[in-house]
Structure 1
Amino acid sequence: MEGRWILSICIVLFTAALWRFVTVYWWRPRAIAAQLKKEGIQGPPPRFMVGQIAEIQNMRSAIKDHDMESFSHDIFHRVHPALLKWRKQYGKRFVFWWGTEPRISVSEPEIVREVLSKKFSQFDKSEAGLRLANLFLGRGLVSVTGEEWSHHRRLVAPAFFHERIKQMTGTIAGCASRMLDQCEATMEQNPEIEISGEVRKLTGDVISHTAFGTSYLKGQRVFEILSKKIPELLPKLVSFSWIPGFRFLPLPINLRMWKLHQELDSLITGIIDERRNSVKSGGSNTYGNDLLGLMLKECDSSSNFTSRDLIEECKTFYIAGHETTATLLTWTLMLLGGYPEWQERARAEVHEVCGNEIPDGESVSRLKLVGMILYETLRLYPPAIEMTRECMEESWLQDLHVPKGVSVSFPIAGLHQDKELWGEDAGQFNPDRFKDGISSACKHPNAFMPFSFGPRVCVGQSFAMIEAKVILAMILQRFSFRLSPNYRHNPAMKFGLKPIHGVPLVLSKM
């Protein structure tokens, strides 16, 4: 009798699992595709379970193996070759599949505004996107949703108030000065410096000091894991992300990922414990007013923010507060190295505003041209090339009907270089387009979204821009530079939009 009960339970469980499998991986994709087709939205037929993941990955990889023949910034065809192909085939609105997740690609700024601002509560980060973010960032601000996100945002936001960031310019300048001294010493042997590695170490030092009260060297292994070790695993993780429950299987790649996160947890716990012990031993009266200090206060006073939350949030800000600014500075220096006339204009503004003094909170706010150059860099080489939001309830976006469970995908790189929005010079480096501000730079202000916008705008936006201004101004004060003849132009996706071969610059002391 007992054996029959066990057999019956097994049959019920197997039937339920089979029904869910058939529903999720076979019936639902076909039903949604048929519904969207009736509304005039078509796209490439999805492969069973995989969708278009393999095609997207393969097309990107094939292009990454070839450098660009010219110094062009028209890069949409390189970072999104599959989307460009489907746009030509199906029109500006089309559907493609990330595994079993249907994504409608939309390149209309007004719809972008509705999703990210007006109808923010109806659209949230997609399940597939969150799973991927959790793999390398943990459950920090970037990868939580709903009330959990609101709570984390309220906690973290005070650390990034504009006036507080302006007070950090001295710390940022101190980190930059040490890096520039090292570059100057290196120049005596070789004036050519691969600058992307240098600015990555510098921005790591800045986020370590300003957010965690420590140094880059102390957190070096944290950065190595988050910026190198985990990203090396991501392509393979993405390739297998369509497999049900893949992230829970004890496969070699997952075991490696779990081991890296265990090491990260241990390293970050050590930094947290050091701050806590300093207060307990009387070495300090408070946890401090940096990001870690604010989070420790919340962790001690609220049951809604646990020690686990604290560790996950530290992971997020170690990587997000470091990689975004490093990439922005790398591309900016690449562009100024390739356009000496703009470099000279920027240097003239820095000398007019700052003279030979270290930039401070007041002078940084007056560096208008430097800000324009940074905005134009973000337009041509945005930190994220795509943004996806899943529809939580059936919605209408203008004339576009979006069923529940369908995601809307915005190709940021495409929007940023759309000639209908930016003019015929959309693929060219022209910071003057921002001379009257972002709202006047193109036909629709929401076509520019390097940090997103609306309630979920990047909380570190002001920090990244002020940090980049201080560092760029100090570089311009001390060096002139040009692109090395060894520079190979190959922008491609590699844990963000990166120059595959780095950016070698030839420096001259001013």
Structure 2
Amino acid sequence: MEGLPLLSTMSTVIGVGLLIWWLWSALKWVWLKPKSIERRLRQQGIKGNSYRPLVGDIRDMIKMIKQVKSKPMDPHSNEIAPRVLPYVVHTIAKYGKSSFMWLGPTPRLFILDPDKIKEMTNKVYEFQKPDTSPLFKLLASGFANYDGDKWAKHRKIVSPAFNVEKLKVLVPIFVECCDDMVSKWENVLASSDGPCEMDVWPSITNVSSDVLARAGFGSSFEEGKRVFQLQREMLQLTMTLFKFAFLPGYRFLPTRTNRRMKAIDKEIRGSLMNIINRRLKLIKAGEATNNDLLGILLESNYKESEKNNGPGMSLREVVEEVKLFYLAGQEANAELLVWTMLLLSKHPDWQEKAREEVFKVFGNEKPDYDKIGQLKIVSMILQESLRLYPPVVMFARFLRKDAKLGDLIIPAGVELVVPISMLHQEKEFWGDDAKEFKPERFAEGVSKATNGKVSYMPFGWGPRLCIGQNFGFLSTGHI
């Protein structure tokens, strides 16, 4: 019995010690570390709002987003940044191009200098991907969200699926999906007494889904389309939870939205695992399955495992790569098509030039891979559409240790953000007509249009350049 008081005392000491450690850690996270970083940034002439404990600028940012969305877009303006990145535009207008804002206790430093962007995107092991909120991880993870050796390994395995030679076999799929969409439009037109008005967005999202489902899953494309529908619902639900994304443990609360998201995630994983397991049986039986992206990916993963006599990607990791392909591809392709159609409707002269070029190159023949590269005007139009309306409006990198960037020493804990929508319309890089639709600026290619500067990056830059860009250009070019 004599040991009980000692044990009780030790338990109390340990409990008090843990409590002090927790309080100290919380104090560092909520106040000491953010203020230390803020002081170091200001010492280098970088300006921004003073840090407000825990929330930072989030409340002001959400308020500004709501204000912007309450007003209609200006149909005559291509200036998209104030609409999609209102608080970023506000901060840079107030403090300058080298400024910062607060996303909770994390400072976001804006980078609009092409030289710094080039340096940052090339140093992939220093400037890493930010940690993703668990709420967003349900959407998709995949190699685009990995860093270091894991990123390199996954990219090596996934890359063969997007090799240009492999993509050639998908061209008939693009043509077939487009023909189906055009036939439906022709039926609508035929059933009307004359010209009619159509909402093309549903058709564009459907054709994008069909292209990805057929190209990705071949004969299993109907199951793939169901996954698309579920991911679209998941994306909508995730956006409604944005304001809770930075609250630790929120995803564990038994809310209706959280329960639905978990149910969707379970169904998506189950569907993809069934498709993948069927394919793996065919691969192990020696049957060819490389006529779609999933087959190519699984073969590449299988060969990597055999070559190194060890694991390639796990089935769970393959599922995440497929989810990422779906999510990124569907949104990017659909948005590029719709914005391009909108721009061409406002600029019928370029619409006519594109039509003439298509008939000159293809005549009455079906599009094929070899001739698609001859569509110079179509390519210029797509490049300009991507400049004005990039599929990703900004991208971010995070520092886990101090790093030098140009003339700056950036402290660990800073998130560096390139607001692509602003970069693409900077007059300093694009001239006084930066906000105007002028495809001729790409007549001699991207390098000439940018004067060799990193001021155009719809698919990123450097070693982490989006590997799906060839697929995106090929599919949208055919459609």
TM-score after normalising by structure 2: 0.92
Classify 1:70/1:304 alpha carbon distance in 2 versus 1 (closer, same or farther; 3 Å): closer
Q: Within the alignment, does 1:230 sit opposite 2:234 as a pair?
A: yes
Q: Give distance in 2, aligned partners of 1:455 and 1:130.
A: 24
Q: What is aligned with 1:475?
A: none
* Residue 236 of structure 1, CA deviation: 3.8
Unaligned residue ranges in structure 1 (runs of 5+): 472-510
* Residue 5 of structure 1, CA deviation: 4.5
Q: What is aligned with 2:139?
A: 136
Match for 1:350: what amino acid?
A: V
* Residue 6 of structure 1, CA deviation: 4.2
* Residue 249 of structure 1, CA deviation: 4.5
Q: Within the alignment, does 1:338 sit opposite 2:350 as a pair?
A: no
Among candidates 256, 260, 269, match of residue 256 of structure 1 = 260
Classify 1:444/1:81 alpha carbon distance in 2 versus 1 (closer, same or farther; 3 Å): farther
Classify 1:99/1:170 alpha carbon distance in 2 versus 1 (closer, same or farther; 3 Å): same
Q: Give distance in 2, aligned partners of 1:105 and 1:68.
A: 25
* Residue 126 of structure 1, CA deviation: 1.2
* Residue 412 of structure 1, CA deviation: 0.3
Q: Give distance in 2, aligned partners of 1:392 and 1:368.
A: 43
Match for 1:176: what amino acid?
A: C
1:6-44, Cα deviation, whole Å (9 max, x unpaired): 444433332222211111111101111111111111201
Secondary structure of 2:47's match?
coil
TM alignment of 1:400-415, pairs within 5 A:
400-415=408-423
Secondary structure of 2:454's match?
helix
Which is further off, 369-378 or 404-413?
A: 404-413
Q: What is aligned with 1:246?
A: 250
* Residue 90 of structure 1, CA deviation: 1.0
Q: What is aligned with 1:438?
A: 446
* Residue 279 of structure 1, CA deviation: 5.8
* Residue 273 of structure 1, CA deviation: 3.1
1:153-198, Cα deviation, whole Å (9 max, x unpaired): 0011011111221332112111211222122122223533221211
Q: What is aligned with 2:472?
A: 464
Among candidates 118, 121, 127, match of residue 116 of structure 1 = 121
TM alignment of 1:488-503, pairs within 5 A:
none
* Residue 108 of structure 1, CA deviation: 0.9
Secondary structure of 1:193's match?
coil
Q: Give distance in 2, aligned partners of 1:252 and 1:18.
A: 33
Secondary structure of 1:200's match?
helix
Q: Give distance in 2, aligned partners of 1:322 and 1:89.
A: 36
Q: Within the alignment, does 1:291 sit opposite 2:290 as a pair?
A: no
Q: What is aligned with 1:391?
A: 399
Q: Within the alignment, does 1:86 sit opposite 2:91 as a pair?
A: yes
Among candidates 133, 137, 147, match of residue 145 of structure 1 = 147
Classify 1:419/1:132 alpha carbon distance in 2 versus 1 (closer, same or farther; 3 Å): farther
Q: Give distance in 2, aligned partners of 1:4 and 1:136.
A: 48
Among candidates 267, 273, 291, match of residue 269 of structure 1 = 273
Q: Give distance in 2, aligned partners of 1:449 and 1:206.
A: 24
Which is further off, 161-170 or 252-261?
A: 252-261
Q: What is aligned with 2:361?
A: 353
Match for 1:272: what amino acid?
A: I
Q: Give distance in 1, aligned partners of 2:76 and 2:463.
A: 37
Q: Give distance in 2, aligned partners of 1:7 and 1:257.
A: 41
TM-score after normalising by structure 1: 0.86
* Residue 350 of structure 1, CA deviation: 0.4
Classify 1:445/1:39 alpha carbon distance in 2 versus 1 (closer, same or farther; 3 Å): closer
Q: Give distance in 2, aligned partners of 1:463 and 1:123.
A: 27
| Aligned 8 A contact 1:159 1:294 in 2 | yes
TM alignment of 1:19-38, pairs within 5 A:
19-38=24-43
Q: What is aligned with 2:161?
A: 159
Q: Give distance in 1, aligned partners of 2:261 and 2:177.
A: 31
Secondary structure of 2:138's match?
helix
Q: What is aligned with 2:390?
A: 382
Q: What is aligned with 2:55?
A: 50
| Aligned 8 A contact 1:175 1:202 in 2 | yes
Secondary structure of 1:436's match?
coil
Which is further off, 106-115 or 59-68?
A: 59-68
Unaligned residue ranges in structure 2 (runs of 5+): none
Runs of 4+ in structure 1 off by over 6 angstroms are none
Identity of paired residues, percent?
35
Q: Give distance in 2, aligned partners of 1:214 and 1:342.
A: 38
Classify 1:328/1:216 alpha carbon distance in 2 versus 1 (closer, same or farther; 3 Å): farther
| Aligned 8 A contact 1:208 1:219 in 2 | yes
* Residue 4 of structure 1, CA deviation: 4.5
Q: Give distance in 2, aligned partners of 1:12 and 1:251.
A: 35
1:277-296, Cα deviation, whole Å (9 max, x unpaired): 5567x7x8133353322333
| Aligned 8 A contact 2:169 2:291 in 1 | no
Q: Give distance in 2, aligned partners of 1:135 and 1:114.
A: 31
TM alignment of 1:64-83, pairs within 5 A:
64-83=69-88
1:211-254, Cα deviation, whole Å (9 max, x unpaired): 22146543232111212x11222234321122234334444443
Q: What is aligned with 1:495?
A: none
Secondary structure of 1:97's match?
strand
1:326-367, Cα deviation, whole Å (9 max, x unpaired): 111111111111211110000000011111111101110110
Match for 2:323: what amino acid?
A: K
Match for 1:461: what amino acid?
A: Q
1:428-469, Cα deviation, whole Å (9 max, x unpaired): 111001001101113453100000011000010011001111
Match for 2:191: what amino acid?
A: Q
Secondary structure of 1:152's match?
helix
Secondary structure of 2:48's match?
coil
Secondary structure of 2:54's match?
coil
**CA RMSD across the alignment:** 2.1
TM alignment of 1:466-481, pairs within 5 A:
466-471=474-479
Q: Give distance in 1, aligned partners of 2:113 and 2:252.
A: 38
Which is further off, 270-279 or 434-443?
A: 270-279
Which structure has the larger Rg? 2
